[in-house]
Amino acid sequence: MSGMLKLIFPDGSQTEAEVEELLRLAIESRKRVKDQLARIDSTYPDVDFHYIGSDGAKRTVSTVEEEEYPQFYHLKPALDPKDQGNAAVASSNAHQKSEDDARATVPSAPISPKSLPAPKLAEGHHVFAENRKGVSYDKLFGPYIDGASRIIVTDPYIRLFYQHRNMMEFVEMVIRRKPPEDQIRVHLVTGPDEGNISRQRELLESITTACTGTGVEFSWAFDTSGTAHARDIVADTGWKMVLDRGLDIFQPPIKTEGFSLGDRMQEHRMLKGFYVTYVRQSDQPQGK
């Protein structure tokens, strides 16, 4: 770690965020070596890889593969087959208690949320690593908007075509999750694209038109103050979700002449690094 800092910042000009990024990289690299040794030798002891932030909070370090496939990552081939399952379950259970794995286990979306027990929702701040897969709007937001009648999305940068597609996919997620009899209003507050505002209006209105007859009413408005930078989703279920990237959490899918799962299914797209913070805004019962 110290050698890496001297190579990259020989003048000592590194910021706290840059130091933390290099520290996580160094710990993750060491963890990969340890995890491979544990697969070779079943007697190798478990190690808790983490560091303490400047705020005194413990931050666990994990790998992208561990977050995507926790059920496989902790298997130890060196164990006797009959002990393999118990070891995997124990390791997986321990991993699920960590801060990083908690972000990978946001409840999956049921087709009819009211027909299944409601998942336990909790406040928290979750950071998602660059290049991982297995994440979708449904997993991130679905359980927190179930039962909502009004959802407000604030994102000042719904301007380019792919950003409008992100907004449309969010609306599609709301339509899939809601019971047929419910009516939901989704309102977007965004900033005007001064260089191409007519195209922006056209795309936003196309989302409004596409929602006709679905039970979801989509509306939008421009924030013309020029000072809006916050990106969040607020539902009248009492939950607020704050995102540093807004809905722009996916890397562009690789273009091919044929078909790409990443283009059709969010879970198969690579992520950009981002965080989401879940905040309970009121004491009103969930889903009301």
Q: Per CATH, which fold does 113-280 belong to?
A: Endonuclease; Chain A (3.30.870)
Residues 215/183, Cβ–Cβ less than 8 Å:
yes
Kindly indicate the confidence band of residue 83, based on its pLDDT and cuts at 50, 70 and 90: low
- Residue 85 pLDDT > 90, yes or no? no
List pLDDT tens digits, range 111-159: 444 455 556 889 999 989 888 899 999 999 999 999 999 999 999 999 9
Instruction: Determine the Cα–Cα distance for residues 58 and 29; give it in Å rounded to an integer.
Output: 19
- In percent, the amount of the chain with pLDDT more than 70 equals 81
Domain-wise residue ranges, the chain: 2-102, 113-280
List pLDDT tens digits, range 207-244: 999 999 999 999 999 987 777 678 999 999 999 999 99
CA 80 to chain centre: 36
- Residue 288 pLDDT > 50, yes or no? no
Residue 263 has what pLDDT? 82
Q: Put residue 226 in one of left, alpha, beta given phi > 0 → left and psi -120 to 50 → alpha.
A: left
Identify which has the larger pLDDT, 205 or 88.
Answer: 205
